A = this chain, B = another copy of it.
């Protein structure tokens, strides 16, 4: 059960002109489950992406980087769940390319205009026969209103589909932004086993789109952690089909970019938070806010030290205001000249620690009250600068261990 999260009903997901989606049950891992998705884009669409920094990146990530790096026009995406095609060596690369070639043939477009994505178990070869056999069905299913079906078909251990739409007006034209993501375990920057696809019919110049994908990621997918692991397959793709009818956005300082950025970031943040809310075994959603740092990097360091600590995460699971564990995490976050006497720690609005120790007015029952809620805000004031950072995470429960101990069985 995700924490405080209701999936968007499929009918509330707005089609994006120029984008069609289709799904199929290819039996990649389990028979009968929809596990294969094809997204086709009208000619003239622009695509930008951000990918995992894991050196053992999956074969499809390598292929995506190559094709986007060469500036090739992109006409389709193909996504399978059940198998990550990671740690699969030369065969994995060949399989990813073969999958794209097959999609290209079905859609009548160049092989290099197709981007592959995979998620699931690593170190096992893609079951190519079943995957390829499923592609015609996915292509036959292509339609503009299949975002809901696709959001389900990309899930792995996710318990709910994650998708949302926003609209914004640019130069008097309505512009749609619709996105979907899958996450669940291994979520940490940079972007863990997470796939996210956001599409808009805005018209955006390629360099501007590439800037936007980074800005949106930094305010969303790069601010979350479930278990601190960085996956082999993380990918965030931003598509702009250019069908909305306004003038192309080719600069960062105008109102058009600002409006689009706000909508895309809002969708990305919704999806990122949804991934945490549906984190493996999650029972609590925590916002870790660090203010007063010398720069954003050190604020993020402190926020992540708290968000990643298994001791902090189990205390949140237990609704135990064991705040010393948070102080300890702040202390080992790596700020060598931190003056701990100046640090203030708040749980919700309750000041719990200052002057290097428990705050005089703090009563444990106030801490317990905050900790019992399914949404908890931790605020750290470092009092040494003006920078801030926020990270979202979830607790560590019995179920986290169960899910990850049983994942392959």
Contacts and interface: CB of A to CB of B under 8 A. Distances in A.
Contacts of A122: 322, 324-325, 327-328
A388 to B, nearest CB: 20
12 contacts: A54-B331, A56-B356, A89-B341, A122-B328, A123-B353, A123-B357, A229-B332, A232-B328, A314-B405, A320-B407, A396-B401, A398-B398
Given A87-B323, A398-B402, 9 more contacts: A55-B332, A55-B338, A90-B355, A122-B325, A123-B322, A186-B311, A230-B332, A318-B404, A401-B401
A290 to B, nearest CB: 14
A198 to B, nearest CB: 24
A113 interface: no
How many identical chains are in the complex? Answer: 2
Given A314-B405, A335-B55, A401-B400, A229 B328 contact: yes
B397 A356 contact: no
B357 A311 contact: no
Interface in A366-408: 396-398, 400-402, 404-408
Contacts of A55: 330-332, 335-336, 338, 340
A16 to B, nearest CB: 32
A317 interface: yes
Interface of A: 53-57, 84, 86-92, 121-125, 185-186, 227-232, 308-311, 314-315, 317-318, 320, 322-325, 327-332, 335-336, 338, 340-341, 353, 355-358, 396-398, 400-402, 404-409
A311 B406 CA distance: 11
B227 A327 contact: no
A332 to B, nearest CB: 4
A121 B323 CA distance: 10
Contacts of A56: 327-328, 330-331, 340, 356
Nearest to A92: B357
